[in-house]
C-alpha cells in the first residue's frame, strides 16, 4: 500500500499533456481549455495526486503551514496561563480549521528564537494573548510574516488585526446581575500582566460599577502560582474592614482560590459572597456550588483569528478588529438563595 505517490509527471503522462498544463489546470493559472482542464483534474483525482508540499514551497515560497503562538504554557514553573483548558480548545479548533483549508498547524514554543521561527518556514501566524510590545509580534514583523492576534497588543494600537472579547458588554451584564443579587461592594481580581484582555476588563469594570453606583475595588493578582496569589488577594480583601460582597475572579483558577479563602473564613458562597469567574470551564460547571462564569468562547476566537489570517494570506483586507461575544452564564455561585429559582 506504500506505492510511491504519484507526481505531477505521472498525471501529465496519464492525461496526455505536459506538466505545465497540469500545473496550470490544478492551480487555475493561465488560460486553458475547459475540456482539457476537467480531464486533467479527473486524472489527478483518479491517481490520487496531491502536490508535494516541499517542492511547491521550494519553488513558490508558500509552505501551507501556519503557526499558533500560545503564551507561556506547558512546563513553565510559573504558569501565567489564564486557562489551559481554553487554550487547548482554541488550539483544537484552529488545527481542524487549518487542515480543512489545506494548512498545517505548527505549535510554536512561547520563547521561540528568531532563527527557529524563520527556519520552520511558516506562511502566517496567530499570536495568542500578546503582552505589551510582545516579543513574538516583533519577531513576526521582522521576518515579514503576516499574523493575526487573539486580543490586541496594548502597546501597538497600529495593529488592527486582532479579535477581542467584548469586555464592556461582559462587565456591564455581570455588574448588572450582581446588583440584582444585592451586591454593593464588588471586587475584581485581575491578572497583573500586560494583557490587553486584562486592561480592557479593568476599564470596563470601572465604568460599569460607576454606572450602577456600586463600590468597585480592583485587585491585581500576580500570576506566579495562580491559585495561591488569588487566594492571598481574596484573603486580604475579605479581611478588610469593609469586605466586598461580590468578587469577580478574572482567571479560571482565581475563582477556586477565592472560594477557598471564603470557606476558611466561614463565608458562604453565594449567601455571604457572590462569585463570578472570568473563564468558564468544566470545573466551574462542576464545582459546588457551580460557579457563574463568563464564557471566553475559545472556539469562536480561534475561528475568527484563523479566518482573519487566511484573508490576509489571500491578499485581502480582512474585516478587523473583530469583537467576540463574552457572555455570562449565571450559576449558583452568584444567586442569592432567597431569590433561588429565578434562573
Selected range binding a second copy among 96-104, 127-135, 150-158, 180-188, rule: CB under 8 A:
96-104
Strand runs labelled E in the chain: 65-69, 104-108, 124-128, 147-150, 162-165, 185-191, 215-221, 246-249, 274-277, 292-294, 322-324, 328-329
Residue 74 binding result from DNA, a second copy, none, given CB thresholds of 5 to 8 Å by partner type = a second copy
DSSP string, 323-343: EE---EE--GGGS-GGGTT--
**Is residue 248 involved in binding a second copy (CB under 8 A)?**
no
Residue 33: CB minimum distance to DNA, A: 3
Residue 343: CB minimum distance to a second copy, A: 17
Q: How far apart are CA 284 and CA 278, in angstroms?
A: 10
Closer by beta carbon to a second copy, 108 or else 165: 108
- Binding residue (CB under 7 A) for DNA from 14, 23, 237, 296: 23
Residue 20 binding result from a second copy, DNA, none, given CB thresholds of 5 to 8 Å by partner type = DNA
**Which set of grid coordinates corresponds to residue 202?**
479593568
**Is residue 46 involved in binding DNA (CB under 7 A)?**
no
The SS3 of residue 216 is: strand
**Is residue 286 involved in binding a second copy (CB under 8 A)?**
yes
Closer by beta carbon to a second copy, 166 or else 299: 299
The residues pairing with 126 across neighbouring beta strands, listed in sequence order, are 68, 148
User: Prior bond to 321 cis, omega within 30?
Assistant: yes
Are the C-beta atoms of 276 and 180 separated by less than 8 Å? no
* DSSP-derived secondary structure letter, 266: T
Closer by beta carbon to a second copy, 76 or else 239: 76
Are the C-beta atoms of 274 and 334 separated by less than 8 Å? yes
Strands 292-294 and 328-329, by their bridges, are antiparallel
Are the C-beta atoms of 67 and 106 separated by less than 8 Å? yes
- Binding residue (CB under 8 A) for a second copy from 152, 283, 322, 331: 283
- Binding residue (CB under 7 A) for DNA from 3, 59, 286, 343: 59
- The footprint of a second copy on this chain (CB under 8 A) covers a number of residues equal to 64
> Kind and range of the H or E element at 238?
helix 226-239
**Which set of grid coordinates corresponds to residue 281?**
470551564
Are the C-beta atoms of 216 and 184 separated by less than 8 Å? no
Selected range binding DNA among 28-36, 69-77, 205-213, 246-254, rule: CB under 7 A:
28-36
Residue 197 binding result from a second copy, DNA, none, given CB thresholds of 5 to 8 Å by partner type = none
Q: How far apart are CA 45 and CA 6, in angstroms?
A: 11
**Is residue 7 involved in binding DNA (CB under 7 A)?**
yes
Selected range binding DNA among 20-28, 193-201, 210-218, 226-234, rule: CB under 7 A:
20-28
Query: What's the Cα-to-Cα distance from 342 to each of 181, 270, 336, 337, rounded to whole Å?
Result: 11, 14, 10, 10
The residues pairing with 163 across neighbouring beta strands, listed in sequence order, are 150, 322
Q: How far apart are CA 114 and CA 68, in angstroms?
A: 15
Selected range binding DNA among 3-11, 80-88, 136-144, 262-270, rule: CB under 7 A:
3-11
**Is residue 340 involved in binding DNA (CB under 7 A)?**
no
- Binding residue (CB under 7 A) for DNA from 42, 45, 46, 52: 52
- Binding residue (CB under 7 A) for DNA from 2, 28, 38, 51: 51
Site of interaction with a second copy (CB under 8 A) = 1-2, 5, 48, 50, 52-55, 57-58, 63, 65, 68, 70, 73-76, 84-85, 87-93, 95-96, 99, 104-109, 112, 115-116, 118-121, 142-144, 226-227, 231, 253, 256-257, 259-260, 263, 281-283, 285-288, 299
Site of interaction with DNA (CB under 7 A) = 4, 7-9, 17-21, 23-24, 26-27, 29-33, 36-37, 49, 51-52, 55-56, 58-60
Amino acid at each position: 500500500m506504500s506505492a510511491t505517490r504519484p507526481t505531477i509527471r505521472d498525471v501529465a503522462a496519464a492525461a496526455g499533456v505536459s506538466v505545465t498544463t497540469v500545473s496550470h489546470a490544478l492551480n487555475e493559472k493561465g488560460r486553458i481549455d475547459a475540456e482539457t482542464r476537467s480531464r486533467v483534474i479527473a486524472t489527478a483525482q483518479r491517481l490520487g495526486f496531491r502536490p508535494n508540499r516541499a517542492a511547491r514551497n521550494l519553488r513558490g515560497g508558500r509552505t501551507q503551514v501556519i503557526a499558533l503562538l500560545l503564551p507561556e504554557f506547558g512546563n513553565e514553573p510559573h504558569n501565567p496561563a489564564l486557562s489551559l483548558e481554553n487554550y487547548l480548545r482554541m488550539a483544537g479548533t484552529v488545527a481542524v480549521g487549518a487542515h480543512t483549508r489545506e494548512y498545517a498547524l505548527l505549535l510554536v514554543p512561547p520563547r521561540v528564537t528568531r532563527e527557529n521561527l524563520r527556519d520552520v518556514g511558516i506562511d502566517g501566524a496567530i499570536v495568542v494573548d500578546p503582552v505589551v510590545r510582545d516579543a513574538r509580534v516583533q519577531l513576526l514583523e521582522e521576518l515579514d510574516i503576516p499574523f493575526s492576534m487573539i486580543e490586541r497588543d496594548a502597546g501597538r494600537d497600529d495593529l488592527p488585526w486582532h479579535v477581542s472579547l467584548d469586555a464592556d458588554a461582559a462587565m456591564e451584564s455581570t455588574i448588572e446581575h450582581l446588583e440584582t443579587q444585592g451586591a454593593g461592594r464588588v471586587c475584581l481580581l485581575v491578572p497583573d500582566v500586560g494583557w490587553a484582555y486584562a486592561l480592557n476588563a479593568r476599564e470596563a469594570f470601572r465604568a460599569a460599577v460607576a454606572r450602577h453606583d456600586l463600590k468597585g475595588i480592583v485587585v491585581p493578582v500576580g500570576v506566579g502560582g495562580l491559585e495561591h496569589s488569588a487566594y492571598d488577594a481574596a484573603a486580604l480583601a475579605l479581611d478588610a474592614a469593609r469586605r466586598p460582597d461580590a468578587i469577580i475572579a478574572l482567571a479560571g483558577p482565581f475563582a477556586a482560590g477565592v472560594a477557598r479563602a471564603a470557606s476558611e473564613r466561614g463565608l458562604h458562597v453565594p449567601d455571604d459572597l457572590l462569585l463570578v469567574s472570568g473563564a468558564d470551564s468544566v470545573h466551574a460547571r462542576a464545582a459546588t456550588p457551580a460557579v457563574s462564569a463568563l464564557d471566553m468562547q475559545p472556539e469562536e476566537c480561534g475561528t475568527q483569528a484563523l479566518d482573519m489570517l487566511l484573508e490576509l494570506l489571500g491578499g485581502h483586507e480582512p474585516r478587523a478588529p473583530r469583537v467576540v461575544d463574552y457572555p455570562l452564564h449565571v450559576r449558583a455561585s452568584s444567586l442569592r438563595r432567597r431569590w433561588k429559582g429565578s434562573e
